[in-house]
Amino acid sequence: MLTRYHSVHADTVPAEVVVVGAGPAGLTLANLLRRNGIGCVVLERQSRRYVENRARAGLLEYRAVEMLRSHGLADRLLELGAPHGVCEFRIGGKRFILPYSDLYEGRTHYVYPQQELVKDLIEAFVDSGGDIRFEAKDVALHGISGSAPSVTWVGSDGEQHRVRCEFIAGCDGFRGVSRPSIPAGGVREFSHQPGIAWLGVLAEVPPSTEHVIYALHPKGFAGHMLRSPTVSRFFLQCPVDDSTAAWPDDRIWAELHERFAVPGSDWKLSEGRIIEKGVVDMRGHVTEPMAYGRLFLLGDAAHVITPVGAKGMNLALHDAEVLATALAGYYRGGDESGLTEYSETCLRRVWRCQEFSQWMTTAIHGTGDRFEDRTARTRLENLFRSPASAAWFAENYVGLM
């Protein structure tokens, strides 16, 4: 029997769970809760149009796709997303192809822009009768250490609203209100900055490759990521204190041409209109535990990982699945074990992905230290000499089951 709440003010709404943030973690959790008959309300600071067009990640692991498919949330993904099982490294002007899918029982990634998944999840939630409040400002969490927390916000109508609940899911990112709502000393936080940054570029141009490219170059890393048949994502290694002002479009394309170059090859990089660019923080951050009282942290609110290896969105989806399963057990039969073990369960995967991301970060980035750069190059070259190393990479890259 689900708990029922009654309004104490005219603008108060009831819910078992309040989900703060309408990104992949929050929306996946909300949909899974609806499918288990658990009442929830989603609060999102931005407008629906904004979140449905916010370009972020675009590579979904096999496990994440299977999870979404099992809950009926992957129809458009499977129709429009492109499976990929090969990546390419360019080292010393030579091309090395790694068919990681063949090395990991045929499992693949799916290339599907995050904003498209967000659109799918919003539509599924709203169509099922879900309650989502966009443009919710001044969100504040109350009573998270007690048995009856609540959340207040100012709605698009300019009025303050309150919802009483049993649990709060903080899915509002690294700079959201959820994690800072935990009292000092309530959690431990671990951070790492590798001393590099990426200039992220989104361009209206068809991909110049059929698979992801990681290029090592004396001037720094360059990456060519896939997004759609008409849009491509590129990355260029740059100083931590760099700014987009230092990167006019002509310089970006010149650097990409130079860093991707393969002498004697007929491969060519296509250019197009740059529609977005920004310096990407390569920080790693983990919060332990990922819960405090009745507040549970998911996705970037709990852990930030470098975009190397494309793990951020996939970790967020895993957090949502674990918490939804835990809450279903609690409401169906009073089983609190899943909630008690939520943080430990998620952190095992989080730290494994952090370790892989750090390995890959050191392998593909130049530091200017000749010794370190040579050992990094050897680390990558070993993937093409050692079947055991290649199999280890494939398992971690395509995602653990």
Reported as a single tens digit per residue, the pLDDT across 9-38 is: 434 566 899 999 999 999 999 999 999 999
Q: Which CATH number is 12-58+113-192+284-357 given?
A: 3.50.50.60
- Quick one: pLDDT at residue 12? 56
Dist CA 233 CA 187 (whole Å) = 35
**pLDDT of amino acid 4:** 32
CATH number 3.30.9.10 is the correct assignment for the domain at 84-110+194-282+366-398: yes
Q: Output helix, strand, coil percentages for the chain, rounded to the nearest 5.
A: 35, 25, 40
Cβ pair 115, 55 in contact under 8 A: yes
pLDDT < 70 stretches in the chain: 1-14
CATH 3.30.9.10-classified regions of the chain: 84-110+194-282+366-398
Does pTM surpass 0.95? Answer: no
Positions annotated as catalytic residues are: 84, 214, 307, 311, 397
Strands in 273-281's sheet, in edge-to-edge order, are: 94-98, 87-91, 212-215, 222-226, 232-238, 197-204, 273-281
Do the Cβ atoms of 150 and 142 come closer than 8 Å? Answer: yes
Burial class of residue 147, CB neighbours in 10 A (0-12, 13-18, 19+): exposed
> Contacts for 148-154 with beta carbons within 8 Å, 24 or more apart?
149/18, 149/293, 149/294, 149/295, 151/18, 151/20, 151/43, 153/43
Which residue in the block uniquely carries the two structure tokens 């590579």? 59
Q: What are the start and end residues of each CATH 3.50.50.60 domain in the chain?
A: 12-58+113-192+284-357
Q: What is the pLDDT of residue 369?
A: 80
**C-alpha triplet 34, 113, 118: angle, nearest 5°:** 25
